[in-house]
Amino acid sequence: MTQPNRRSFLTGAGAIAGAVTAASVSKVAMAALPEPVIQTTPDTAGPLAPNSGRPYNPVVTLNGWTLPWRMNNGVKEFHLVAEPVAREMAPGFKAHLWGYNGQSPGPTIEVVEGDRVRIFVTNKLPEHTSIHWHGQRLPNGMDGVSGLTQKAIPVGKTFVYEFVARRPGTFMYHPHADEMTQMAMGMMGFWVTHPRARHPLIEEVDRDFVFLLSAYDIEPGAYTPKIMTMLDFNLWAFNSRIFPGIDSMNVRLGDKVRIRAGNLTMTNHPLHLHGHEFMVTGTDGGPTPRSTRWMEVTTDVAVGQMRQLEFLADEEGDWAFHCHKSHHTMNAMGHDVPTMIGVDHRDVARKIGKLVPDYMVMGERGMADMGEMEMLLPDNTAPMMTGQGPFGGLEMGGMFTTVKVRRGQKPGDYQDPGWFKHPAGTVAYEFTGQLPEPARAQASRQRAASEVPFRDVEVRARKPVGSNGHSGH
């Protein structure tokens, strides 16, 4: 847990933790830009309790933070700075991304339904930008589509967006100028509009976590994403962090928990929770009607969509929460590796060695060996399958974390409680008795004797190798 630090551009602003109050800023200062608040660490910041404006229950951004604001004559003023950032995606692995206010993704913006919001956007990127407020009802000229609804924000300039947050819900923000490059570089942020009063379709919850799904293509050893990649990403992230760099979501036994996710990658992500059932209570269009809700353990979040999952955390333990595309729970180094199970690799190793010096052939017994090869990786990359748990290697990466449900977790405490201490007799254990002969093998032997003579059949499968230039499909 860390508090954002501030670059103090204004004199007499005073040092205040959390949101800036109108009373602390002089009249001259109010006419100026709100000082930008910059975050330098990728740690999960505690919830930012509002100290001005209408009250609400704040969210917690996974490996992120909420942007403080100042009140100026009843308008909530925020200052976003679009700039190059260094994002630690996992311990030992830093990426050179573009983001907002020191991090990628940018800070979460939290407002209340009916709030008038003014957002100053300063462009410190090497090219023009804009911000689109994904999902919002707003005047057309505030929609942030450069060329269509506004001029792009030139390098070094500050533009102002102003609108009323008209409907409560879950939103995102991202550039709508050289969008492919800027989103591939990590420019995005979360936005939550809280209901102004009790809403018939919006439950009050004890914990409300938010994060964005993002994907990057960064060569092992490199720092900057390849922006032309459309599908073949090698880093699948929750809020520009990859396992084991993603914090756990720590809750109290019996808590009502909401997890909000938005997808700004180029493919869908079926999010899967272990040990509990959840309901999708909201989409990018707002809260879902009750008649459309059903219990499930996996829900797909398509490109450009947002989903709110809600569940009662009534089972103690460390419960996995991850994208169910298994390639999305792996890190770099794992892609474009041939399947080696059961293959005599001596000849292959010689061939690959010519192309990639120091390459190791792995996987004769499956890929689990990869989990223990961290020492041999180039600088600045993340092992493909990694993470240590109380029982050994987790062999995971990418879009994977845990929901830690604890009896002793105090209300409002988001600290990691450590690994779950399983009650005696509740962990899967080794069977040490006699293994019986499999019954099915018995049956097929009888049939083989009475019908056709049984002989070994070898199956060879080979993908067609084209010479017509279509190999990239």
What are the structure tokens assigned to 211, written together? 């994060």
In sequence order, which residues have a C-beta less than 8 Å from that of residue 62 and are 6 or more positions away? Answer: 44, 209, 210, 211, 238, 239, 241, 246, 247, 249, 401
Q: For Cu ion, which is the closer residue by CB, 114 or 334?
A: 334
Least separation in angstroms between residue 101's CB and Cu ion is 27
Task: For residue 28, give the H/E element and its range.
Answer: helix 27-31
Contact range with Cu ion by CB under 5 A, out of 109-117, 175-183, 289-297, 323-331: 323-331
| Size, binding site for Cu ion by CB under 5 A | 4
Contact pick of 70, 76, 128, 328 for Cu ion (by CB under 5 A)? 328
Tell me if 325 contacts Cu ion by CB under 5 A. yes
3-state helix, strand, coil in the chain (%, to 5): 10, 35, 55
Residue 261 sits at φ, ψ, to 5 deg, of -130, 145
Contact pick of 128, 132, 174, 269 for Cu ion (by CB under 5 A)? 269
Least separation in angstroms between residue 429's CB and Cu ion is 32
Contact range with Cu ion by CB under 5 A, out of 168-176, 317-325, 425-433, 459-467: 317-325
Q: For Cu ion, which is the closer residue by CB, 96 or 325?
A: 325
Least separation in angstroms between residue 242's CB and Cu ion is 12
213, 399 contact by CB (below 8 A): yes
Tell me if 252 contacts Cu ion by CB under 5 A. no
Nearest to 118 by CA among 83, 152, 72, 87: 72
Contact range with Cu ion by CB under 5 A, out of 15-23, 322-330, 331-339, 409-417: 322-330
What are the structure tokens assigned to 262, written together? 């938005």
Q: For Cu ion, which is the closer residue by CB, 326 or 444?
A: 326
Q: Alpha helix (H) ranges present in 358-406?
A: none
In sequence order, which residues have a C-beta less than 8 Å from that of residue 472 and are 6 or more positions away? Answer: none
Tell me if 300 contacts Cu ion by CB under 5 A. no
Contact range with Cu ion by CB under 5 A, out of 62-70, 316-324, 363-371, 422-430: 316-324
Contact range with Cu ion by CB under 5 A, out of 49-57, 178-186, 243-251, 267-275: 267-275
134, 92 contact by CB (below 8 A): no
**Mode of pairing for the β-strands spanning 306-313 and 255-263:** antiparallel
Least separation in angstroms between residue 45's CB and Cu ion is 25
Residue type, 297: V
Residue 96 CB neighbour total at 10 angstroms: 16
Least separation in angstroms between residue 323's CB and Cu ion is 3
Least separation in angstroms between residue 90's CB and Cu ion is 17
CA 71 to chain centre: 30
Least separation in angstroms between residue 269's CB and Cu ion is 3
Q: For Cu ion, which is the closer residue by CB, 37 or 301?
A: 301
Q: For Cu ion, which is the closer residue by CB, 45 or 330?
A: 330
Contact range with Cu ion by CB under 5 A, out of 326-334, 355-363, 385-393, 432-440: 326-334
Least separation in angstroms between residue 264's CB and Cu ion is 12
Count how many Cα atoms sit within 13 Å of the Cα of residue 193 in the half-sphere of its side chain: 28
Q: For Cu ion, which is the closer residue by CB, 6 or 325?
A: 325
Q: For Cu ion, which is the closer residue by CB, 160 or 302?
A: 302
168, 199 contact by CB (below 8 A): yes
Contact pick of 323, 332, 333, 385 for Cu ion (by CB under 5 A)? 323
Burial of residue 181 (CB within 10 Å: 0-12, 13-18, 19+) is: middle
In sequence order, which residues have a C-beta less than 8 Å from that of residue 399 and are 6 or more positions away? Answer: 213, 236, 237, 238, 242, 243, 269, 322, 323, 328, 329
Q: For Cu ion, which is the closer residue by CB, 62 or 80?
A: 62
Q: For Cu ion, which is the closer residue by CB, 266 or 340?
A: 266
Q: For Cu ion, which is the closer residue by CB, 124 or 325?
A: 325
Least separation in angstroms between residue 260's CB and Cu ion is 17
List of residues contacting Cu ion (CB under 5 A) = 269, 323, 325, 328
